[in-house]
Chains A and B, each alone.
Chain A
Amino acid sequence: MNLGIHLDTTVNQTIIEEIKEPDIIHAIEAKDLNVFYGDFLAVREVDLVIQAQKITALIGPSGCGKSTVLRSFNRMNDLIPTARTTGEVLFHGKNIYKEGVDPVEVRKRIGMVFQKPNPFPKSIYENIAWGVHINGFKGSKSDMDNLIEQTLRSAALWDEVKDKLHDSGLSLSGGQQQRLCIARTIAIRPDIILMDEPCSALDPISTLKIEELMRDLSEEYTIIIVTHNMQQAARVSEFTAFFSLTENRAGVLMEYGLTIQLFTNPKNKITEDYITGRFG
């Protein structure tokens, strides 16, 4: 399989040295994270440190708990009645599962983009304005207009929608809808953006546009993306976490490291089988 990676060992080396630095910023960190659905242990003992302002990809076979881990980073699992989480998820050094932490506050700081584009059945303008508004925006109408233009520009959508801001968000194409969803997420200035297979419902061109957008956004935001597309993981992410299943179908973190390393020189046999497509 051609992964589109041109191995450049010198660059590789410097990056590795860089992450060994002690003052690296941890955007979010899972410590001994277990997630249950009822009695079923879906994710077991995950320890994962996500670097700030980088793109981290979560890959692995279907059902290994990638989405589950992703959702536990902003407590979206709370919305599933049977879900139960143990362990810690540290955000700014604070366990977001500690008693007294408001999941609403967590989700404001850690936004989420879903697999299927899900704009609100409102206008493009309102799609962005709503989130800004409910999070206590104090500015005037023109401040809001500016913020929306700026947001749509950073989401690489402005030129396509500037003449129809008051059309329904649902009138856009799938790719545009997904960028709108990204736009409304970054409009509230989160620290981290979680993306669960954001391109799986899109055509290749839209996919490339979103990948480009992700690279731009990673200068400002920490991005965690779940993907089934190896090339995509290789193309956009700097770090990759590979999840796999144990015999009793619990998801575990098999290998985690620089994308370039994980794809070219996996330490683990299962990882290698998976990324080379030999996974059973």
Chain B
Amino acid sequence: MSDYEKPSMDLFQPNYDRPEADLFEDTLDKRHRVGRVWKVVFQISTVIGIIALATLILKIFNDTMGYAAIQYKKNPATISTTGKSLEEMSCSELWPILAENVSKNRLRTIEREKILEERTKTECYNLVMFEVAEPTVKKTWPLLASLINYQEIQAYTAEKYPEGDLTFKVWITKSFILSPQSDDPLKAGIKTAILGSLFIILIVIIISFPIGVAAAIYLEEYATQNRINNIIQTNINNLAGVPSIIYGMLGLAVFVRYLEPITSGALFGFSDPTTANGRTILSAGLTLSLLILPVVIINGQEAIRAVPNSLRQASYGMGATKWQTVWSHVLPNALPGILTGTILAVSRAFGETAPLVVVGAATFITFSPESIFSKFTSVPIQIYQWTARPQDAFQNIAAAAIIVLLVLLLVLNATAVFLRNRYSRRW
């Protein structure tokens, strides 16, 4: 409290007659001063944290939209011969334009993919854009620069790309989320990666939650204090700190190589010619499960330890067995904590990149995963690959992908909070 008022020294009568009086000196001022200094230190730390976070988010956000210099092989304005703009045209009006401008073979391929009647207006428009106009992004500017330096950007574009178009582009769009991976940043989307991530996370939850919770129960409720159990406990604590890339190497050796017949699905009569040597969603999920297992166990143990002993005593005192005590009292009361801990661990797995690179994430797949034996990529992997590309536009879609990742993580963490509140309110 800054509004502390220093009491005048004669606020209270000094009690000199007390024998220890001269053992004390008046340090009140000094103590308050120290308190104020520490308060400022805490405030500054908080502010630094907030600034760091804000910078990160602004930086990413800055890249998700802005002007882009786009050059066309055939300018969309000149494609239409009727004077109507392409956006306004219906599918049946667009189709002749397409037929006129692409080769017979290409047209047949397009028709084989999906016939005219089944295509929506947007799909037709996109087809004409990509097949006829063939835009390429030459240069992009982040949002801030776009707002401040519009004149310069315009001049630059006019000089460098005389036939180019300067458009304000929002990179994070519905079609970005719903499109598969592509070589062209204008077409590329994150769908493949999101599906890959979700598949992997599903496996991680299915594997690490039950095993982790069971192990936590064993260590807390059953294991007695002996040498072996102490060694196990110490190891688990240490495993939680092992760098994730080591887990990637373990996953490569065990799941991808050694257990290949299982992880590739060959053992179950599953043959996918595109799946190379066990580098599958299953392998990735198992690797990440191993990675977070120690954390799940430790969080679970902590939640179990937080259940008051008086509950266990009450239960045992009524003639309950250990199993009945654990099942009816310890677990239900530890559950909110266990769930929160597990979800936080899972969200760590969600953002992991290094072990997946080692396990062999596909660098380029355009098809959605169909089963746990498919090749995989994940959102962080995708971000990593896009940032490594030299072209401007890939940086923009990487930023868009980061936003997607952050939103997904936020959803996970919100679920954790929701579950905790919901289960805590039950009693």
A-B contacts at CB below 8 angstroms, number: 67
In the A-B complex, the 9 residue pairs with the smallest Cβ-Cβ separation, listed nearest first, are: A108-B319, A121-B427, A112-B317, A118-B310, A131-B318, A107-B319, A118-B314, A134-B324, A104-B321
Query: How many whole Å from A182's CB to the nearest CB in chain B?
Result: 12
- The verdict on B305 contacting chain A, using a C-beta distance below 8 Å, is no
Name B304-319 residues within 8 Å CB distance of A: 308, 310-319
On whether the beta carbons of B328 and A130 are closer than 8 Å, the reply is yes
- The verdict on B78 contacting chain A, using a C-beta distance below 8 Å, is no
Q: Give every chain A residue within 8 A of B317 (Cβ-Cβ).
A: 74, 76, 107, 111-114, 185
- Indicate whether A114 sits within 8 Å of B319 (C-beta atoms), given known contacts A121-B427, A130-B328: no
On whether the beta carbons of A168 and B427 are closer than 8 Å, the reply is yes
On whether the beta carbons of B316 and A184 are closer than 8 Å, the reply is no
Q: In the docked arrangement, what's the CA distance between A130 and B325, Å?
A: 11
- The verdict on B329 contacting chain A, using a C-beta distance below 8 Å, is yes
Q: Give every chain B residue within 8 A of A113 (Cβ-Cβ).
A: 317
Query: How many whole Å from B304's CB to the nearest CB in chain A?
Result: 15
Closest to B426 in A: A121
On whether the beta carbons of A134 and B328 are closer than 8 Å, the reply is yes
Chain B residues touching A, majority SS:
helix
Name A118-169 residues within 8 Å CB distance of B: 118-122, 130-131, 134-135, 168
Q: Give every chain A residue within 8 A of B321 (Cβ-Cβ).
A: 104, 134
Q: In the docked arrangement, what's the CA distance between A104 and B319, Å?
A: 5
Q: Interface residues of B toward A: which range?
A: 20 to 34
- The verdict on B224 contacting chain A, using a C-beta distance below 8 Å, is yes
- The verdict on A181 contacting chain B, using a C-beta distance below 8 Å, is yes
Q: Give every chain B residue within 8 A of A108 (Cβ-Cβ).
A: 318-319
On whether the beta carbons of B224 and A134 are closer than 8 Å, the reply is no
Q: In the docked arrangement, what's the CA distance between A170 and B427, Å?
A: 8
On whether the beta carbons of A81 and B225 are closer than 8 Å, the reply is yes
On whether the beta carbons of B318 and A184 are closer than 8 Å, the reply is yes
Interface string of B287-320 (1 = CB under 8 A from A): 0000000000000000000001011111111111
Q: In the docked arrangement, what's the CA distance between A160 and B393, Å?
A: 72
Q: Give every chain A residue within 8 A of B313 (Cβ-Cβ).
A: 76, 79, 112, 114, 118
- The verdict on B333 contacting chain A, using a C-beta distance below 8 Å, is yes
Q: In the docked arrangement, what's the CA distance between A112 and B317, Å?
A: 5
On whether the beta carbons of A107 and B316 are closer than 8 Å, the reply is yes
The winner among B225, B312, B318 for most chain A CB atoms within 10 A is: B318
Closest to A107 in B: B319
Query: How many whole Å from A271's CB to the nearest CB in chain B?
Result: 30
Interface string of A166-195 (1 = CB under 8 A from B): 001010000000000100110010000000
Q: In the docked arrangement, what's the CA distance between A181 and B316, Å?
A: 13
Closest to A112 in B: B317
Among A79, A81, A111, A122, point to the contact of B318 (Cβ < 8 A). A111
On whether the beta carbons of B427 and A105 are closer than 8 Å, the reply is no
Q: Give every chain B residue within 8 A of A79 (Cβ-Cβ).
A: 312-313, 316
Among A74, A76, A81, A134, point to the contact of B320 (Cβ < 8 A). A134
On whether the beta carbons of B318 and A185 are closer than 8 Å, the reply is yes
Q: In the docked arrangement, what's the CA distance between A108 and B368, Å?
A: 59
Beyond A116-B310, A185-B317, 9 additional contacts (C-beta under 8 Å) are A79-B312, A79-B316, A107-B317, A114-B313, A118-B313, A118-B314, A121-B333, A130-B328, A134-B319
Interface string of A94-105 (1 = CB under 8 A from B): 000000000011
